[in-house]
A and B are shown apart, each in its own frame.
Chain A
Amino acid sequence: GENVEQHPSTLSVQEGDSAVIKCTYSDSASNYFPWYKQELGKRPQLIIDIRSNVGEKKDQRIAVTLNKTAKHFSLHITETQPEDSAVYFCAASTGTGGFKTIFGAGTRLFVKA
């Protein structure tokens, strides 16, 4: 079945450094790749997304890249701040038939002040 692998499971960086989280997906029909941030005890919230017809997208300190051939995509956070500390989830969704969204297992990001 469909699967999304996410690495690393935990990431600790110094404030101001960059953080990179990588995901791979198995379903070649996937065409939408959102990233969610979930703070402790809160609901997941979308921070950025990318569609399969785009290779890269940037929003201020956050960027996402997509390599469809290799079936992997990455989240890049620059100039990290303590408030970036949270769990980040990647996901892959296919628009064929149903719009099933498969999430990765998450990356716990710690930004040390």
Chain B
Amino acid sequence: GAGVSQTPSNKVTEKGKYVELRCDPISGHTALYWYRQSLGQGPEFLIYFQGTGAADDSGLPNDRFFAVRPEGSVSTLKIQRTERGDSAVYLCASSLSGANNEQFFGPGTRLTVL
């Protein structure tokens, strides 16, 4: 079956611009996570959704970052006024539920802010 997909695979933008990154989880997975991974580092937790609601957004670095999951499936991570320090690979993962089940990762979106 289809795994987690993310679009775009690569995004190059200029400092100050707005970007949206999309995640399509595995069908039937109620839990969805966003992570940010910089070169040589582990995935850094950003936000976790259970269904439509953000159950834990404590990893979002500041108010320029926002994520939604309006119908409990597809999720969009939105970054306003991008900064060079936002450059990283943004990973999405989904799991059957939030009860510590295996997370399946997408291929990631490589964001480059010039």
Contact = CB atoms under 8 A, between A and B. Distances in A.
B44 A51 contact: no
B103 A101 contact: yes
Residue with the highest number of chain B CB atoms closer than 10 Å, among A32, A45, A91, A101: A101
Contact of A101 (B33, B50, B55, B106): B33
Nearest to B98: A99
A46 interface: yes
B72 interface: no
B58 A100 contact: yes
A102 interface: yes
B59 interface: yes
B105 A45 contact: yes
Contact of B56 (A45, A97, A105): A97
B44 A43 contact: no
Interface size class of chain B, counting residues whose CB lies under 8 Å from the partner chain: 20 to 34
Contact of B44 (A44, A93, A99, A103): A103
Given A97-B55, A99-B55, A43 B100 contact: no
Contacts of A110: none
Given A43-B106, A99-B55, A106 B40 contact: yes
Interface residues of A, number: 26
B107 A100 contact: no
A103 B50 CA distance: 20
Given A43-B107, A45-B105, A46-B102, A99 B48 contact: yes
B91 interface: yes
Interface in A77-110: 89, 91, 93, 95, 97-106
B31 interface: yes
Given A99-B56, A100-B58, 19 more contacts: A4-B42, A31-B100, A43-B91, A44-B91, A45-B105, A46-B104, A95-B100, A98-B48, A98-B55, A98-B98, A100-B48, A100-B59, A101-B33, A101-B48, A102-B45, A103-B35, A103-B42, A103-B45, A106-B40
